Chains A and B, each alone.
Chain A
C-alpha cells in the first residue's frame, strides 16, 4: 500500500475571492466555548458576567451535562447593577468571594464578559487585576470576552487562551507548544507521535491544571491544533514565539502534513517521520475508506459555525471524494487556514460571515447531498428533504489525528447512511 500524499491541486482556494455578507447570523456566541474548556481545565471556574439570557444559553448548550457542582456559572446582572457602575465592582467581588469560599479547589477563575457587560462597559480587566491581588497566590483571576458582539462560537476558546498567554512565565528554552484544547485521548496520541519522532519538551496550551510548568519565550515554536486561534497566534507572537504554519491534523493527509511541518522545524529526518507514522497512516486510510464509500461523489455545503469548515472541507473533498458546493466560516484568517486553502481545489464558493436567509436560498437551490449546519437549521432542513450533519458535534467529539480519522469520516457518512436506511413512506 502506497502511503504517498496526493498532489496538491494546481490552484488552491487561497486567492479565491471571498463572498462576504452581513445580515442575520445563525451562530453561537463565544460563551459556548466554556462548555468544553471547563472539562479540559480541571481546576478552572468560568464566571460569566451577563444576563439571564447568558445563563440560559449555557444551560441550553450544556444540554444534559447537569452537574451537582458545575465549574461554570453566571453572575446575572440585575436592575440595581445597571443603575450605577461603581457598585457593580463591589457586587462582583462579593459574588466571587462567595464562590471561592465554597469552591476551595478552584485555582483559576475566568471572568467572562458578555454582551450586556460589554455594552455597559463593566471593567472586568480591572476587576480581574484587583481580585488576583486579593487571592494570590492560590487563585489567579483572568478575564476575556465571550460576548456575541465580539466573538463567534469557538472564538471564545481563542479569547480565553489569548488571555492566559501574557501572564505565562518567561523561558528561553527551546520548546514546542501545542495550542488548542483537544480531548485528552487525542492530546496523548499527539504527544506520543512527537516523542517517537524525538521531539522532546512539548507543552500544551491550555494545560490540564494551573500548576503545570508552562512558560514561553523567544525560543518557543508553536503549532495550532485548532483553526480558530487567530487571537492566540497574535498573542504568542507578542511573546516572541514563532508559528509553524501547517494544514490542520484532520484525516490521514492533514495529520501527516501537520507532523511533517513540525518535524521539519525540529530537523527530524523525514524517513524517521515515515517510519513512525507508517502504521497509523495505514490504519487511518483504511478506516476513512470504509466510511468514504457512502460519501464518494456526494456534494457538501457548509454553513458557518466554528472556523473548522475549511480544513474539514479539505478532508472531505481530498480524502472522502466529496465535492464542496459552498464552504463558509464565521471568520477566515489566511495566516491560519492558508495551508488548508492551498489544498482545497478551486470550485466551491468561499464565504465569510452570513446572511442566513440568503444563504438558505443558495443551499436550497444547490440541494447538496449533505449540509453541515447548526441545530437551529438542521431539523428544518431535514424536513425539506436535505440530509444534515450538525456542526457542534465536531467540536465536542475526538476528531483530530490518525486514530480518529475514521470516526471523523463516520460523523459525515452516518446521516447519509441513515437516510438510505429509513423506509418511512407507505409501502405501495
Chain B
C-alpha cells in the first residue's frame, strides 16, 4: 500500500478510454462497478467534448457479485453493439473487475459479435494511464492493421495523439503543415480522429511520425517490424528540434528537407535586448518524459535559462530522462509523488518552474512563477485558440507562455532601481501577479532577528542575523530575497560564521555572483 494524495496519472483503463474517445466507430465495453463513469467527465468537461465517450460500463453492484457479473458483461456487450453498431469493439476490465476474474476478452470472443472484438489486458495494480493508452492503441493496430500497397506519393501516419492529450489537437495541425511543405501528405492520424477502417490503411504510408512516445511507441515499433514502416525519433517541440525533425523526415523519405521559417519569431524575440534578463534564469522542469526532454533543450539553448533540475512522473521514460539529466549535469527526479517534487523544488529554489497542473499549485504555494508544459492539465489548458507546442507556431506559443509568468524585463529593472520608491516597494509586487498592492509600512527599528522563522531551514537555526544585515536584506527585491537569504546562510555555515552582518551578506553575494 502506498499513501497517495494527488496522482499524475489515472489508472490504465482511463488510458484506454483516451484512445477510444479519440477514435470514431470504435466502442469500449468496460467491466466496471457503478461509479467508474466518473472518468466520462474528464472528456466532457476538461476537454469539453460535445458527445459522451464511446464507453459502456457494466455497472455491477454488490448484489451481483458471485455468478451474475459474467452475464451482466455479456448483456452490456450485446446491447452496446446493437445500439452503436461500431466497426470494432475493445473490451476490458477496470481495477475492481480485474479482481473478480470474469475474463471479458474470452467472454466477448465466445459471443461471436459481427465485428472485430479486441481484448485488453491492462494490469491496474502495476501500470498507469499512459501505459493503458499505449497498450490499447498497440492492440488495436495489431488486430486491424495489415500490410497493404504503399501510396504512390510519399505519405506519413501521425501516431500518438489521443483524447485528453496536452495540445494534441493543434499539434496535429502544425505537424501536418510541416509535412505538407515537404510535399508529404498525411495518410492516417491515429488514434485521434481515426476509425477502425482507417487503422487497416496504416500500412499504406511510407513512414510513421511518432508524435508522442508515451502513447504511440509500442504501435510504432510493431509497425516497423510487421509493416516495414520506419518511425521518427525526434519530437518537433522547439526550434532546434523542429529543424532536426525536418532533417530526419527528409532522410527517412529521401525528399528535400524544407522548413518555412518566415512565421518563426522565437529566435528573434529571444535575441532581442528585452530578453537579456532571461539569461541564466534558474528553471526546474517536470512533467511527462517527452515534454520535459524537449523543454530542457528549449530552456537552455533557445531561451538561455539555466536548467537546475528536471524529472518525469512516467517510469516508462525514466531511462532517457536520467541520461538527459546527466547531460545537463543535474540529478533526475523520477517520481509520481508530488510531495517528492515539492521537496526538490524547495531545495533547488528555482526562479521558475516548467511543469504540470500540480507544479502550478506547488509554485503558487512557494511563490515561484510557473508555466504548464505537460499533462495532467486542467480545463484552461484545453484552450479555444490555436496553441500548438510543436513546429513553428509551437515555438512562438512556448516563448509567450514561458515569459509571461516572469516579471517583465523592464519591470524587473524598475523594481531594482526604485526599490526605495513608494510605488515599487517590496509589498507592491509585480503588476501581473494577481494580488492587491499594499501600501508601504513605515520602517520600524527592529530587534536583531534570530533566524528561526519558518522560512529558514532548521539546520541553520543557530545562525543569527544582525539587525543591520536584516535591514539590508530587505532592500533586495522580494523575488530574489529568499535565494539571497539561503545563499548567505549557506555561506556563513560553511565558514562557521555565527552572526551575519552586512559584510557577510555582501561577501556571500560576491561568492555566488554569476
**Smallest distance from the beta carbon of B70 to chain A beta carbons, Å?**
15
CA distance A416 to B5 in the complex (A): 38
A110-127 contact mask (Cβ, 8 Å, vs B): 1 or 0: 000001101110000000
Nearest CB to that of A74 among chain B residues?
B4
Cβ–Cβ contact A53 & B51, under 8 A: no
Number of residues on chain B facing chain A (CB within 8 A): 55
User: Is A25 an interface position by the 8 A CB rule?
Assistant: yes
Chain A residues near B361: list those with CB within 8 A: 66, 68
**Smallest distance from the beta carbon of B289 to chain A beta carbons, Å?**
19
Partner of B3, one of A29, A88, A99, A148: A99
User: Is A52 an interface position by the 8 A CB rule?
Assistant: yes
Chain A residues near B1: list those with CB within 8 A: 49, 75-78, 81, 88, 91-92, 94-95
Cβ–Cβ contact A149 & B100, under 8 A: no
**Smallest distance from the beta carbon of B401 to chain A beta carbons, Å?**
20
CA distance A132 to B366 in the complex (A): 36
User: Is A55 an interface position by the 8 A CB rule?
Assistant: yes
Partner of B34, one of A29, A72, A375: A29
User: Is A374 an interface position by the 8 A CB rule?
Assistant: yes
Nearest CB to that of B46 among chain A residues?
A60
Chain B residues near A137: list those with CB within 8 A: none
Cβ–Cβ contact A148 & B33, under 8 A: yes
User: Is A169 an interface position by the 8 A CB rule?
Assistant: no
User: Is B408 an interface position by the 8 A CB rule?
Assistant: no
User: Is A59 an interface position by the 8 A CB rule?
Assistant: yes
Partner of A24, one of B14, B44, B57: B57
User: Is B245 an interface position by the 8 A CB rule?
Assistant: no
Nearest CB to that of B6 among chain A residues?
A59
User: Is A346 an interface position by the 8 A CB rule?
Assistant: no
Cβ–Cβ contact B35 & A60, under 8 A: no
User: Is B445 an interface position by the 8 A CB rule?
Assistant: no
CA distance A99 to B126 in the complex (A): 23
Partner of A53, one of B61, B94, B100: B94
Cβ–Cβ contact A75 & B2, under 8 A: yes
CA distance A52 to B8 in the complex (A): 10
Q: A52-B10, A375-B45 are in contact. Are A26 and B124 (CB under 8 A)?
A: no
Q: A115-B35, A379-B50 are in contact. Are A79 and B125 (CB under 8 A)?
A: yes
Q: A115-B33, A375-B41, A377-B52 are in contact. Are A24 and B7 (CB under 8 A)?
A: no
Q: A60-B42, A74-B4 are in contact. Are A52 and B57 (CB under 8 A)?
A: no
User: Is A224 an interface position by the 8 A CB rule?
Assistant: no
User: Is A129 an interface position by the 8 A CB rule?
Assistant: no
A14-40 contact mask (Cβ, 8 Å, vs B): 1 or 0: 000000000111111111100000000
**Smallest distance from the beta carbon of B360 to chain A beta carbons, Å?**
9
Cβ–Cβ contact A52 & B56, under 8 A: no
CA distance A82 to B101 in the complex (A): 13
User: Is A57 an interface position by the 8 A CB rule?
Assistant: yes
Specify which of A28, A82, A148 lies most central, judged by the most chain B CB atoms within 10 Å of its CB.
A148
Chain A residues near B96: list those with CB within 8 A: 51, 53, 115-116, 119, 148-149
A sample of 21 cross-chain residue pairs with beta-carbon separation below 8 angstroms, ordered by A number, consists of: A25-B37, A29-B34, A51-B95, A52-B11, A53-B36, A55-B4, A57-B38, A73-B3, A78-B126, A82-B99, A82-B125, A91-B1, A115-B35, A119-B65, A119-B100, A148-B35, A148-B61, A375-B44, A375-B45, A376-B38, A380-B49
With A53-B36, A150-B61 given, can you name 11 additional A-B contacts, CB distance below 8 Å?
A27-B34, A52-B128, A53-B124, A59-B6, A60-B39, A70-B5, A75-B1, A147-B33, A149-B62, A376-B52, A377-B44
A residues neighboring B (CB under 8 Å): 23-32, 47, 49, 51-53, 55-57, 59-61, 63-64, 66, 68, 70, 72-79, 81-82, 88, 91-92, 94-95, 98-99, 115-116, 118-120, 147-150, 152, 357, 374-380, 382-383
B residues neighboring A (CB under 8 Å): 1-7, 9-11, 13-14, 33-42, 44-45, 48-52, 56-62, 64-65, 76, 79, 83, 94-96, 99-100, 124-126, 128, 357-358, 361, 365, 378
